Structure 1
Amino acid sequence: MGNSREQPLPTPVTCAHLVLPIDCTTIGYRNATATGACMPASSDNCQMLAPQAYQEQDFLAPEEMWRRYEFIANTSHDFMTLINADYVYEAANRAYCAAHCKRADEIIGRKVADVWGQEVFNTFVKGALDTCFSGRQVSYQGWFEFSTLGLRYMDVSYYPYRDSNGAVTHAVVVSRDVTAFKTAQDEAQRQVQRLAALHDLDTAIITSFDIRNVLNVLLEQATRQLGLDAADVLLYDAASRTLRYAAGTGFPPSAETPPPVPLGEGLAGRAASTGEIISITFDSSTGRDQAELPSWSRGEPFAAYYGVPLLARGQLRGVLELYGYRVPQADVEWLRFLDTLGGQAAIALENAQLVQDLQTANQELIAAYDATLEGWVRTLDMRDKETEGHTQRVAAMAVALARAMGIDEPNLVHVRRGALLHDIGKMAIPDSILLKPGPLTPDEQRLMRKHPEYAYELLSRFAFLRPALDIPYCHHEKWDGSGYPRGLKGEEIPLNARIFAVVDVWDALSSNRPYRSALPHEEACRIIRQQSGTHFDPAVVEVFLRARDEVIGLE
């Protein structure tokens, strides 16, 4: 170490606020010019850096060195104390004394329990000190109450201090006030949670067309993120100019369903009519009482109420009401989140209403389509009295057999429509051929066999009927390829058409005709079975025969 020399260790020096350690191998030098890299000092109790090489000038007097250490400790904002094995303070820096609003002599020489109180000492301090005295460093974070600072979040570390024999004699306790960091961290976490809540609400808006699901997500997130206890949503009914209860959470099961609230009346009605958030707390300081709350909620000891108008594009959609048993800490961020949540809720309600209106319009349109199809079918039945009622029967049987074959429910709609329209192409066949009582000539037969093509030409113009075209176009195709109009064979024939072919022939065999009586069911089944693999798909025939009574409506 250059020209350095070893010096005997000085005796302990007691300062006004601080007792300093005395066994560091490197104390410090005045007017020393250091060269080379810095390396840690060898002592376990000292964290100073010693120069690897220096040019010795004058050695600094121990008293001056301790005064400098005292200055460093007392100008630090961290709290520093030295505690012996009897839990007695032997040193405390100025920041620590100031935090407790005490002089140094009111802390040094006193037990830790006297300064903090026995409960705090037993709960938080003693265990950490005992661990430290066993030779292990301890660190933790927590909230502590100080006389001058109030409640502060501290980062506390206990370092074991060893004598020259290596025995732990003291605990060096260093505490740093990290309240600002903790507060910022908690606020950031709350912001993340609130963003997640808004994301959950957005997801509910996007993925669910059920307004009840959207409202349930809204109420859950509102009460959880705002720290409130109960909430409800009142939807605006423009026809009656009232707010009507739609959903709620947090209220006791015995609570009655709120009655409609006229616009402008009550807290919710005022929030709706003014378009502004209403915030009320009920305590002696405000002079407000629960008589202002809706009558159905007065039995609960609510201390706070918030009414949030739900406005989307300037249009009132409803009111979100929030209740708390305690008054929340409604800071700027809290209020901003409440306002944002209200805006998102209004958009959710608007979207849900638009979807509901669209679904209603779609259902009405589908009903109009089906009514039109029924009209076409009745027109055809009125034209051909021989087959009157046939269309409705085969439509019902085709749906039943398709369901037994495993066709999913959405596609059953197309099966029914195709079955209803299976003979719609006959509208293009002249009455002289369609209603001819006797056998048809070859030319008439060729014309009659064109009715599937006429059906295709007619129905393919309508987009909503295209999925139903398989039956009108292909129900006269046969499994062995001998059918018409295209001579399709086997699984080239669409499944819906293969299903319909069986029930179409069954109805023809089991119904009365002017030229013959209906065949008994067993005879009709024999014919169906006989034509399996030629006219019909064997798999469809097997299911039909097994589920015959269910398909033809006897079960």
Structure 2
Amino acid sequence: MPPMQLTSACIEDLVLKMSMARDLDEIMTAVRQSARDLIGADGISFVLKDNDCCYYADEDAIGPLWKGQRFPIQSCLSGFAMLQGKVVVINDIFRDGRFPIDAYANTFVKSLVIVPVRQDDPVGAIGAYWSKLDGPSPESIERLERIANTAAVAMTNVALIKSLAAAKEEAAQARDAMILAMASLAETRDHETGDHIRRTQHYVRALAEALQEQEAYAEQLSDEVVDLLYKSAPLHDIGKVGIPDCILLKPGKLEPEEFEVMKTHAELGHAAIATAERYMSSTTPFLSLAKEIAHTHHEKWNGTGYPRGLKGEEIPIGGRIMAIADVYDALVSARIYKPALPHEEAVDIIIKDSGEHFDPKLVQVFSKIAPKFEEIHRAFAKGH
């Protein structure tokens, strides 16, 4: 390949590396590794604007320059290029006179070019240095300008990516806060529910993570899905907000007609989350899963559950997981109408209900990790 084509190809390679950079260090590394040879300079420095200073963040040179040092922007040639927003070319630093030559006294530098990174609102500069007078050629200046322009775009992209990541994180935190706020609505109606939703959230994650190790569930229970299960689990009883106090807080067994009203909390929860979807004019994996769990966690493997009488694998995996978590916590927790059962007795009841109330494969995994459920119950017991 002819030298001109080779140089052009190398520049394109550098441009590509910078455009794909994920952070500032990758941008500077790309410049350090390639720019000096492409320009034909004896040294390259990457300078960042740091408030009122020029920070010489990186360099590649035949001798030491100023890496790691800071200079006032008003008395630094890189700062001058940034403040003016234009390229500075000096063919002989000893005859220029605009800035003191003390900074160059212990270096090889005799001529240089400084190009601001982003001319309208510079965020830095790239300097090229020669150990001979009249080092910068028109071609080297043009190439350095292209490298600086690409660096400007790359730095803008990195800043945008970080901004989007921060916004995404903020949105996720807001979502999690809203989940807890919505779930706390149920807690205000039923003081037992608050501790219940926190414990079941952790039961769900423990069981889902154990199921990930099973080949049959590994694909459908990705890390992302497990995280969504964990975060949406607190909404499983949100529908209880719509149940009258006389039924929700009754200190005894419900009459058949009262139980029919209590059962409507699954439909009420589903409807509440569906309303949120309609308001957004779309669904999200989180809302879809939360709605699914709220609607199906009282379905039974044999088809005798509610509200739809789903059977077997017609019941979504989230509902099947929540069913075990929900019943276990109800068994080991004291209620106004019943005492708490010992952990071992609760585990036996769930195992005996395998294939009737619960998915047999899930019960098999639950039986192996049941001690984790006991640990969670103790850790999140009322008052902790």
Query: Same fold by TM-score, threshold 0.5 exceeded?
Result: yes
The residue identity in structure 2 corresponding to 1:213 is E
The question of 1:340 aligning with 2:146 is answered yes
The question of 1:397 aligning with 2:210 is answered no
SS in 1 for 2:159: helix
Matches for 1:310-325 after TM superposition, within 5 Å: 310-311=117-118, 314-322=120-128
SS in 1 for 2:123: strand
Give how far 1:224 is off.
4.3
Give how far 1:264 is off.
2.8
TM-score by length of 1: 0.58
The question of 1:444 aligning with 2:258 is answered yes
Among residues 288, 302, 307, which one is paired with 2:114 in the alignment?
307
Give how far 1:419 is off.
0.7
The question of 1:278 aligning with 2:88 is answered yes
| Contact 2:183 2:234 (C-alpha < 8 Å) held by counterparts | yes
Give how far 1:543 is off.
2.1
| Contact 1:400 1:550 (C-alpha < 8 Å) held by counterparts | yes
Matches for 1:124-523 after TM superposition, within 5 Å: 185-202=2-19, 204-205=20-21, 208=22, 210-228=23-41, 231-236=44-49, 240-244=51-55, 248-250=58-60, 258-280=68-90, 291-293=102-104, 301-302=108-109, 305-311=112-118, 314-322=120-128, 330-406=136-212, 407-460=221-274, 461-462=276-277, 463-464=283-284, 465-469=286-290, 470-523=292-345
After superposing the two structures, state which structure 1 stretch, 420-429 or 439-448, moved more. 439-448
Give how far 1:305 is off.
4.6
| Contact 1:267 1:292 (C-alpha < 8 Å) held by counterparts | no
Give how far 1:393 is off.
1.1
| Contact 1:433 1:444 (C-alpha < 8 Å) held by counterparts | yes
Relative distance call for 1:235 and 1:539 in structure 2 (3 A) is farther
Alignment partner, residue 527 of structure 1: 349
The residue identity in structure 1 corresponding to 2:12 is L
CA distance in 1, matches of 2:362, 2:85: 64
| Contact 1:233 1:248 (C-alpha < 8 Å) held by counterparts | yes
| Contact 1:308 1:321 (C-alpha < 8 Å) held by counterparts | yes
Unaligned runs of 5+ in 2: 213-220, 278-282, 380-384
Q: Relative contact order, CA 8 A, sep 6+: which one is greater?
A: 2
Greater helix share, 1 or 2?
2
Larger Rg: 1
Give how far 1:222 is off.
2.3
Relative distance call for 1:361 and 1:552 in structure 2 (3 A) is farther
Over residues 72-106 of structure 1, what are the superposed CA-to-partner deviations in whole Å (9 max), with x where a residue is unaligned? xxxxxxxxxxxxxxxxxxxxxxxxxxxxxxxxxxx
Relative distance call for 1:308 and 1:261 in structure 2 (3 A) is same
The residue identity in structure 2 corresponding to 1:387 is T
Give how far 1:481 is off.
1.9
Unaligned runs of 5+ in 1: 1-181
SS in 2 for 1:309: strand
Q: Percent identity?
A: 31
| Contact 1:264 1:272 (C-alpha < 8 Å) held by counterparts | no
The residue identity in structure 1 corresponding to 2:26 is N
The residue identity in structure 1 corresponding to 2:157 is N
The residue identity in structure 1 corresponding to 2:175 is Y
Alignment partner, residue 33 of structure 1: none
| Contact 1:220 1:249 (C-alpha < 8 Å) held by counterparts | no
CA distance in 2, matches of 1:230, 1:474: 67
Relative distance call for 1:536 and 1:235 in structure 2 (3 A) is farther
The residue identity in structure 2 corresponding to 1:193 is C
CA distance in 2, matches of 1:325, 1:396: 66
CA distance in 2, matches of 1:529, 1:402: 18
Structure 1 runs (4+) greater than 6 angstroms displaced: 254-257, 281-290, 325-328
After superposing the two structures, state which structure 1 stretch, 272-281 or 484-493, moved more. 272-281
TM-score by length of 2: 0.81
CA distance in 2, matches of 1:221, 1:552: 59
| Contact 1:397 1:553 (C-alpha < 8 Å) held by counterparts | no
CA distance in 1, matches of 2:288, 2:78: 50
Relative distance call for 1:452 and 1:220 in structure 2 (3 A) is farther
Relative distance call for 1:523 and 1:271 in structure 2 (3 A) is same
Greater strand share, 1 or 2?
1
SS in 2 for 1:389: helix
CA distance in 2, matches of 1:551, 1:306: 67
Relative distance call for 1:279 and 1:375 in structure 2 (3 A) is same
Relative distance call for 1:504 and 1:216 in structure 2 (3 A) is farther
Relative distance call for 1:430 and 1:481 in structure 2 (3 A) is same
The residue identity in structure 2 corresponding to 1:389 is D
CA distance in 2, matches of 1:261, 1:284: 20
| RMSD, aligned α-carbons | 3.3
SS in 2 for 1:535: coil
SS in 2 for 1:536: coil
